[in-house]
Amino acid sequence: MTPSTTTAAGTAERYLELLKGCLTRVLFVEDEAAYLDYPGGSKALRESRAEGRDWPATAETMIGSARLDNLQSCIVKVLDDGVPGDLLEAGVWRGGASILMRAVLAAYGVTGRDVWVADSFRGLPPPDRDHYPGEMPEDLSIHPELAVSLATVKANFARYDLLDDRVHFLRGWFRDTLAGAPVEQLAVLRLDGDYYESTMDTLTALYPRLAPGGFLIVDDYGAIEACRQAVGEYRRDHGVDEEIVPIDWTGVYWRRRR
């Protein structure tokens, strides 16, 4: 690596570290802890944000620093290795992880890949336990804070100057949008749908489009049994046997075999 490329890589890393601190609000944790009157103060809130254990009042993501670091690492790896395909997140909340996807491409001067942002943009549906008996018991549709509009997510992209023609939005329930989505190939696929149904719908529609050498990331694997069950059944039924690697207390990933 030449000095110029070393400098460029260092600049990209510094920009991305700053961005992640903003997306999680870790850079402003003292102010946020005071605003929320958070038990344990800024130290406790910083630890919670690092692990993605709270629903932040203002941050664009709730997945925490470790899962953001993993996402960045997976994207950089596919870029370094020349794995073809776009980046897609299914289940985006306020858009923070998808914003990071676009930021990594921008930081490294990548112009030939797109970011796909898939969500209902109106929260989660009630769990369908009639069709999916193993579905999670909690009804996440009752939480209005999980319903973030498309306009808000677009505004969050624009806040970081990352809303451009390389970002595409897939609006609707996964069962209605993903199978017919105009996505030819993926290098990184991130699942954050919580439910068994959402996880299975995403895997069924999109895992076949994940390029060899690409990464599959599942946000809710450790936290939600129904999600873990869907992943296990899909892997069993489709002969997926790559090692599942933990990221933190809930997130996992694996790399599709070349």
249 DSSP assignment:
S
As a dihedral over the C-alpha atoms of residue 74, residue 78, residue 81, residue 85, rounded to 10 degrees, the angle is 170
Domain that holds residue 196: 63-255
Q: From first to last of its 258 residues, what are the pLDDT tens digits of the chain?
A: 444 455 667 899 999 999 999 999 999 999 888 888 899 999 999 999 999 999 998 999 999 999 999 999 999 999 999 999 999 999 999 999 999 999 999 999 999 999 999 999 999 999 998 888 889 899 999 999 999 999 999 999 999 999 999 999 999 999 999 999 999 999 999 999 999 999 999 999 999 999 999 999 999 999 999 999 999 999 999 999 999 999 999 999 999 997
What pLDDT score does 5 carry?
53
Domains: count for the chain: 1
Phi and psi at residue 91, to the nearest 5°: 100, 95
- Residue 230 located in a structural domain: yes
186-191, strands of its sheet edge to edge: 167-171, 115-119, 86-90, 186-191, 210-218, 252-255, 245-246
- Residue 41 located in a structural domain: no
3-state secondary structure of 119: strand
Residue 134: CATH number of its domain: 3.40.50.150
What pLDDT score does 6 carry?
58
Closest CA relative to residue 119, chosen from 69, 162, 181, 74: 181
What pLDDT score does 1 carry?
44
- Residue 45 located in a structural domain: no
- Residue 107 located in a structural domain: yes
- Residue 222 located in a structural domain: yes
- Residue 165 located in a structural domain: yes
Distance of alpha carbon 105 from alpha carbon 19, whole angstroms: 13
- Residue 46 located in a structural domain: no
- Residue 12 located in a structural domain: no
Q: What is the pTM of this model?
A: 0.94
Full DSSP string of 37-76:
T-TTHHHHHHHHHHHT-S--SS-S--SHHHHHHHHHHHHH
